[in-house]
Structure formats: C-alpha cells, structure tokens
Amino acid sequence: MEKINIVCPHCFKINAIPKKDSYAKANCGSCKNSLLDTDPIELDESNFDHVIVNSDIPVIVDFWAPWCGPCKMMAPIFNDVAKKYPLKALFVKVNTEALPNMGTRFGIRSIPTLVVYKNGVEKQRVSGALDPLRLSNLVNESL
C-alpha cells in the first residue's frame, strides 16, 4: 500500500501513513494526538522549512498580521475551509508582524497572501482575502 508523509500538527514529527480516500482515525506515532486535527497551525522560522519539505500533502500558508482588516475577515474562512481537508491539505499561518524576516524571505508585499506548496515547492500565490469558494478552488487545484 502506498504511504504518504504527514507532519503532525501537534509535535511536528513525520508520520508515514497509508494513502486513503478518507480516514476514520489516524494518530501520531510519537505524541499520539490525532493527525485529523484540521485547525491551522502557526509556523515560525524554526519549523517552517521542516513542515513544507516533509509534507506529501499540499501546504496552504496564510501570511497575515493581527492589525490587517482583510486578514481578520479571512481568518474564519481559512479555519472553516481547513475543516474540509483532513489529511488532504495542511493549513498553516505565519504572522508577518511577529516574524518580519519570514515576510521578507518569501517576498510578501501585501497581506493576506496565500502560498500553496506541494512537494516542498511553491506552486501558487494569491494576495488578498478570498471567499470560501475561491479558497476551496485554490486548494482543490493543488490536490
């Protein structure tokens, strides 16, 4: 059976799990927490590259800041859409206010900016808040 690498959203350990269309249960081999948790995770300089490079599923990155009105507007949409993709896509957030070096490193000129990574490579970038349909379409294009 084909396996995929999933980075645990709790402890960031890499888990090789069987590739399936859907999962009733999947727990981390290290921390035992559920890999089905769809809450977006906050990344920083210490774990960003690890997550991007070791995820066999697409990683959807929201570069945002707490003072940004469109970012605040899109946050619940990002969280809701993430719930539709357990073990299909990983949703992560990078606070460019707290981590200005990350914004500079990735050439973030406006926020929110969403970047889709697949197999460790940037595949698509969209600036501005997205509605649920446009965000879902962005994710579906990367699956």
Catalytic hit among 8, 28, 31, 68: 68
Cα–Cα distance for residue pair 94/64, rounded to 1 Å: 6
Strand 41-42 and strand 90-95: the pairing is parallel
Cα–Cα distance for residue pair 98/17, rounded to 1 Å: 34
* Edge-to-edge strand list for the sheet holding 59-64: 41-42, 90-95, 59-64, 113-118, 121-127
Active site residue 31: no
Provide the CB-side half-sphere exposure for 22 (13 A, CA).
Answer: 2
Q: Which amino acid is at 72?
A: K
Active site residue 11: no
Catalytic residues: 68, 71
